[in-house]
Structure formats: C-alpha cells, structure tokens
Amino acid sequence: MDILTEELTHFAAWARPTAAETAARGFVADYLLTFLRKHANRPGLDIKAELFGSETTGLSLPTSDLDIRIYDASQADEDRSYGKLYSLLAMLARRLRQDHNNWTAVTVRHSKFPIITATHCKTGIIVQIVSAPSTTNQQTHTRRYLAELPHLRDLFLLSRAMLGTRGLVNVYDGGIGSYGLLVMLVAALKRRSSANPPPQTPAQQLLHFLNFYARHNYISRGLTVTPVGKTFLKHHDATYQATVQERIRAAHRRNDPVRAGQWAMSAPKPLQPYLLCLQDPADPTNDLGRKTNAIKHLAESFRVVHAMLLARLRDGLKGEGVAGRETFVEVAVGRLHEVWAGRRKRVEKFGAEVLKKREEVGGEVQVDAAVDAGEAGVLSAEGEEEAASGGQEAARSEEEEVEEERTENVVRG
C-alpha cells in the first residue's frame, strides 16, 4: 500500500505543469484575452472575457484545454441570452482562422452556450472560448474542498489522467468534466460506511473512490455532498411523477433549495435510468451527471482498475516478484509518459522562450503588440517593429468583419 501511495504522489508531481509549461499556457491565455478585449466589442454590448476552469483552480494538467468565458456585462446574469452571442463568436472564429500561422482547427458550435475551439500551432494547446454563465461559485467550492481534503488534488490528477486515456473526460462525448469529476471524488470520500474507518492515505482513498463508483447503484440512487455526503432515492413510479412539482414547491417553502433540487433531478430519463445523478454543490438545481451517456464505460473502468490494483497489492503481500511488470500507476493510466512526451516537449520549448523573453525585458512579456501584429508566438524584435503596420491591417480587417456580420444578419432576417 505504501508503494501505491508513493507512486501516486510522484505521478501527481510529474503531472503538474512545469514552470516553462505554466509560462507557455499563461502567454497563450493572455494573448487570447487581449485579442477578445480588442476585437469582441460591438455597439450596444459590453463584452468581457475571463479565464475559468482548472487553470484558475490549480487543477490543470499540462495537456488541459484553456477555457475562456465571454459574456455581455451590460446585462444582469439572469437576463443574459448566451446563444445571442453566436454571431459574435462566429466572427471571432473567422478572425482566428485568418491567422493560420498561429491557429488551426478553429471551429464554432451553435448551442445553448456557443463555443469556439481552436489549437495553438506552436504549442498544440487547445483553447475553448464559450459564451456561458459565471462559474465563480463552482471555483469557490473547488478551493474549499481542496483545503478540506489534503490528498484531493493528487487523486484528481491521477483520476483525470486515467479517464483521459480512455476518452471519458469530454462531456460533449458523454464523459465527465473536470468539475464533475472533482465532485465525484468529494462525494465518494465524504460518503462512507459507518462500519468502516474512513480511508486516510492517498492509496486507501484511491481504492475507495474506484470501488465506490464500481459498485454504486446508478439506477436507484443519486449523490450529493450538500450539506453532507449522502445518497438520495431516484423515483421511477408514475405517482411520484404526478406530484413532483408540489414536492419541489414544498421544499422551497421550507427554504430548502438543496432538497428541491434533489426532487427535481430524482426523476430519471425513461430510456436512460442508469445515468449518474450528481447534485452540484454550487447550484443545487444542476445535475452534473445528466449528460454522462458513457457512465457504464466509466463504471467499468473503475471496476477493472480497482481489481487490477488489488491483484497487484495481493501479489506484493505474497512476496511475488514484480520485475518487468506494470507499475501501479501504469495500471491506471497506461504509458501516459510516452503519450504526453511530444505534446509536453512542444509546450516546454515555447515556455522556455517566454521565460527567456521575460529575462530580457525584465518582466512580463507584453502581448498587446503581438495581438496587433497577429502573432500568437513570443514576439521577436522584428515582430515588435512590425506591430504598427499589423495594427493597421487588423483595423481594416475588423471593418470588413463588421460589414460581413451585418450582411449575415440581414440574410438571416
């Protein structure tokens, strides 16, 4: 068990971004934020952009996406219609495509929360620009749980990598997102049998987490961490369906939004009663598991990894040799160091250039000139000299975009 704890701790240290990787990711994020503030505003709108997600909570992996939220600050949160910003995001996507030396695979998806996805050519870092509500409450809860549970960060990094190697971390593809995975970990660690002592070491907590979701009854039970970690019943009968709204209203009259949210999400989808039901502590009405169409794949992954780790532990107790066999971490994540090697090398190289430039200028690298020149790389001396002419070209291009957007709106009626 001590070896598993040691490997988990070493993996978490290896999986955190290095100083150079952090510098590279920070530069790309700053570039995009400056780009959005410069080009996104339109008459009648007060467009703001901010970084959110794992990059702001310290839970990002070196290969994690960069998430940027864009919204109209002139409207109150409850009055915002994020889908209305689709035409703005479509224009921004066209601007990114024009800068093909720095950005590739630029796509924009029209949905309730429209989103741009692009890849930075020099680093391979994937960025997502989304028009969506604030996640401040979620970030607050994340920081609180990280402070409460000392091993949570290490467990999250390993679990995120484990599911990432299996293609199960993209909500759009039926997986579980970073925040949802964190709440899953918290729910498992806070919900335990009174007959057993709580797991204390990272190894014990990892095995408990894997076993918990391998054995959880997804059809009949939902999960919450508010106010304590516990399960609640899902209701399949027609009698409940007919009275659910009254139950929700009664909970609100008692000033119990948590229970009201549980009543609302405890009616499973008729064709998918097996979906994970996981109440969001930051928003009791939000079911973090409602889109986990691949939950059976997640549960089976947890079961298999748990069984393989236990088998390795039993072999160790028997004194059987392990030479030439997979390490404990490799059982969970495979040859991840080989999979990530090329991607991390690109980011590391770019980050080294950023750090070198910081030393030369005696501070942070300014990205304003890079945006004006359309250069998302580290500014060279030549790039700085060309910034003025690049700014003039950008201004002309922006005028063309405004006219194109106006024409598009007319065509759409």
331 located within any domain: no
- Tell me the mean pLDDT in the region 281-295: 95
278 located within any domain: yes
- The Cβ of residue 121 has, within 10 Å, a number of other Cβ atoms equal to 17
- The Cβ of residue 22 has, within 10 Å, a number of other Cβ atoms equal to 18
Q: Are 27 and 365 in contact (CB under 8 A)?
A: yes
160 located within any domain: yes
Q: What is the pLDDT of residue 265?
A: 93
Q: What is the pLDDT of residue 392?
A: 44
Q: What is the pLDDT of residue 409?
A: 44
CATH number where 159 lies: 1.10.1410.10
Domain count, the chain: 1
Identity of the highest mean pLDDT range in 9-23, 29-43, 62-76? 9-23
Q: What is the pLDDT of residue 371?
A: 66
346 located within any domain: no
CA nearest to 11, candidates 3, 20, 19, 22:
3
CA nearest to 148, candidates 195, 177, 182:
182
Give the Å distances, CA to CA, from 193 to 197, 198, 224: 8, 8, 15
167 located within any domain: yes
Output 24 or 370, whichever has higher pLDDT: 24
66-72: strand order across its sheet: 47-52, 66-72, 126-130, 115-120, 103-109
At 330-369, the pLDDT tens digits run 999 999 999 999 999 999 999 999 999 888 887 776 666 5
Domain holding 258, by residue range, is 144-301
For the chain, the straight-line distance linking the first and the last C-alpha, in angstroms and rounded, comes to 65
**What's the gap between Cα 281 and its chain centre?**
17
284 located within any domain: yes
161 located within any domain: yes
154 located within any domain: yes
The mean pLDDT value of the chain amounts to: 85
